[in-house]
């Protein structure tokens, strides 16, 4: 092979060196080579509502969105997003100046951080964090400051935010708080009290807040999703990010959006226009229709996922895992220590051979790897028979 570089210097630059390949590639390859059931990556194995799929087909046939759609997104979708925020949360946004359509929440996160951060700015993110946060903060030249969610065992076991730790993490260099609720991978839904304290801190320290709410519709039991933008003083400092992927089970469509005050939306759009410019033309029209689905759609979707959560958590408990019952999202985090294990990486690498199931070690979502070491994440957005098969395999692999 011809020499491609004159030195031994690796190609990937220093900003991204630590983000070589994601764990999902490694684990999905393992799933393929072993024939294991993949409960690693979080995508549903059935498509969303037929009428929404048909709406996409119609848009495509009618020639809507087959050419570059408008930079901020098609007006139908921006109006539908604004209407959704108003109807659900009482948040009024102007579809022309306060809504921006993006290539999924992923681009919204990237564009927001690229637009708002100066090199050296600190970003406080809840740890464990969604994997793109760390990479995007790095691409923007920012510095991530993780605040760790800690396991609590009073009542239903869950991961909780320590508000004092959050307050202590703020410095003169802190530019923004990056919040995710409902939270992937822990399934924690921040309470009204916790959100109120975050809002007070943001106002007091004059911080911007970026909030990733892609699981806004996936909350169970008594849990309630409250957008941070609804708290006093927050509307003008909050960039709210959501997406159609999780809510409508079309993760391949990559239709996301930002809602924020005009100055913030303009800034995010400045970065976004040089990333994808525009995307997902016909799907934007279909998602506009999806956002107008009646409340019964969301109720049935939640009920279906709740049943799947209960099936998987019961199976994991029977197999001997300690389970953090998620109040939201479609992930469940477990503790493997009751199985006599403590290293989630080693456990997940062996699990396909050992049990025929793929899971993700939560440690990949931590800077403090040791804090995440014994935790392992499973996705339950799969068909009931797949989850039943997986739990059966786990029970056999860990006989008690």
Applying CB under 6 A, the residues found at the interface with ligand PLP are: 104-106, 130, 180, 184, 212, 214, 243, 245-246, 251, 254, 256
Q: Which is nearer to ligand PLP, 106 or 313 (CB)?
A: 106
Taking a C-beta distance cutoff of 8 angstroms, is the pair 37, 389 a contact?
yes
Q: Compute the least distance from the CB of residue 180 to ligand PLP, in Å.
A: 5
Q: Compute the least distance from the CB of residue 243 to ligand PLP, in Å.
A: 3
DSSP three-state, residue 378: strand
DSSP three-state, residue 153: coil
Q: Compute the least distance from the CB of residue 2 to ligand PLP, in Å.
A: 37
Q: Compute the least distance from the CB of residue 69 to ligand PLP, in Å.
A: 17
Query: Which is nearest to 372 in space by CA: 327, 324, 329?
Result: 324
Taking a C-beta distance cutoff of 8 angstroms, is the pair 155, 325 a contact?
no
Distance CA 88, CA 91 (A): 8
Q: Which is nearer to ligand PLP, 124 or 214 (CB)?
A: 214
Q: Compute the least distance from the CB of residue 286 to ligand PLP, in Å.
A: 14
Q: Which is nearer to ligand PLP, 251 or 391 (CB)?
A: 251
Q: How far from each other are the two terminal CA atoms of the chain, in whole angstroms?
A: 54
Q: Which secondary-structure segment (H or E) carries 64?
A: none
Q: Which is nearer to ligand PLP, 148 or 243 (CB)?
A: 243
Q: Which is nearer to ligand PLP, 240 or 243 (CB)?
A: 243
Taking a C-beta distance cutoff of 8 angstroms, is the pair 198, 209 a contact?
yes
Distance CA 273, CA 253 (A): 19
Q: Minimal CB distance to ligand PLP: which residue?
A: 104
Q: Which is nearer to ligand PLP, 107 or 121 (CB)?
A: 107
Cis peptide before 40 (omega within 30 of 0): no
Taking a C-beta distance cutoff of 8 angstroms, is the pair 241, 105 a contact?
yes
What residues pair up with 375 in beta bridges, in sequence order? 335
Burial class, 105, CB count within 10 angstroms (exposed 0-12 / middle 13-18 / buried 19+): buried
Q: Compute the least distance from the CB of residue 306 to ligand PLP, in Å.
A: 18
Q: Compute the least distance from the CB of residue 298 to ligand PLP, in Å.
A: 17
Q: Which is nearer to ligand PLP, 256 or 352 (CB)?
A: 256
Q: Which is nearer to ligand PLP, 125 or 351 (CB)?
A: 125
Q: How many CA atoms lie within 13 A of 31 on its CB side?
A: 16
The packing angle between helices 104-116 and 131-139, to 10°, is 30
Q: Compute the least distance from the CB of residue 246 to ligand PLP, in Å.
A: 6
Q: Which is nearer to ligand PLP, 106 or 112 (CB)?
A: 106
Q: Compute the least distance from the CB of residue 129 to ligand PLP, in Å.
A: 9
DSSP three-state, residue 383: coil
Count the neighbouring beta carbons within 10 Å of the beta carbon of residue 90: 9
């Amino acid at each position: 092979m011809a020499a491609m570089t004159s030195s031994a210097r690796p190609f990937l630059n220093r900003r991204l060196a630590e983000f070589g390949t994601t764990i999902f590639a490694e684990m999905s390859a393992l799933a393929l080579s072993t024939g294991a059931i993949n409960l690693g990556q979080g995508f549903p194995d059935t498509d969303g509502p037929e009428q929404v799929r048909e709406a996409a087909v119609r848009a495509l046939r009618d020639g809507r969105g087959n050419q570059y759609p408008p930079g901020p997104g098609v007006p139908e979708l921006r109006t539908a997003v604004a209407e959704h925020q108003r109807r659900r949360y009482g948040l009024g946004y102007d579809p022309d100046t306060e809504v921006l359509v993006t290539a999924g929440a992923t681009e919204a996160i990237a564009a927001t951080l690229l637009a708002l951060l100066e090199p050296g700015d600190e970003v406080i993110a809840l740890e464990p964090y969604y994997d793109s946060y760390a990479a995007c903060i790095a691409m923007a030249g920012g510095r991530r400051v993780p605040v760790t969610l800690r396991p609590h065992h009073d009542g239903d076991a869950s991961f909780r935010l320590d508000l004092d730790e959050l307050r202590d993490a703020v410095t003169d260099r802190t530019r923004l708080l990056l919040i995710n609720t409902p939270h992937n991978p822990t399934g924690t839904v921040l309470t009204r009290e916790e959100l109120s304290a975050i809002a007070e801190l943001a106002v007091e320290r004059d911080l911007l807040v970026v909030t990733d709410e892609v699981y806004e519709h996936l909350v169970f039991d008594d849990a309630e999703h409250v957008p941070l933008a609804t708290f006093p003083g927050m509307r003008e400092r909050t960039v709210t990010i959501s997406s159609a992927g999780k809510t409508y089970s079309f993760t391949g469509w990559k239709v996301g959006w930002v809602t924020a005050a005009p100055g913030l939306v303009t800034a995010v759009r400045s970065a976004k226009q040089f990333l994808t410019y525009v995307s997902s033309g016909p799907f934007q029209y279909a998602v506009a229709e999806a956002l107008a689905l009646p409340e019964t759609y969301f109720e049935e979707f939640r009920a279906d996922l709740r049943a799947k959560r209960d099936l998987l958590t019961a199976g994991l408990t029977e197999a001997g895992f300690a389970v953090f019952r998620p109040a939201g999202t479609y992930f469940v985090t477990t503790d493997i220590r009751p199985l006599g294990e403590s290293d989630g990486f080693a456990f997940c690498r062996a699990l396909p051979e050992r049990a025929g199931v793929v899971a993700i070690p939560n440690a990949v979502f931590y800077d403090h790897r040791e804090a995440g070491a014994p935790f392992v994440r499973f996705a339950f957005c799969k068909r009931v028979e797949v989850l039943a098969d997986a739990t059966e395999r786990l029970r056999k692999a860990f006989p008690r």
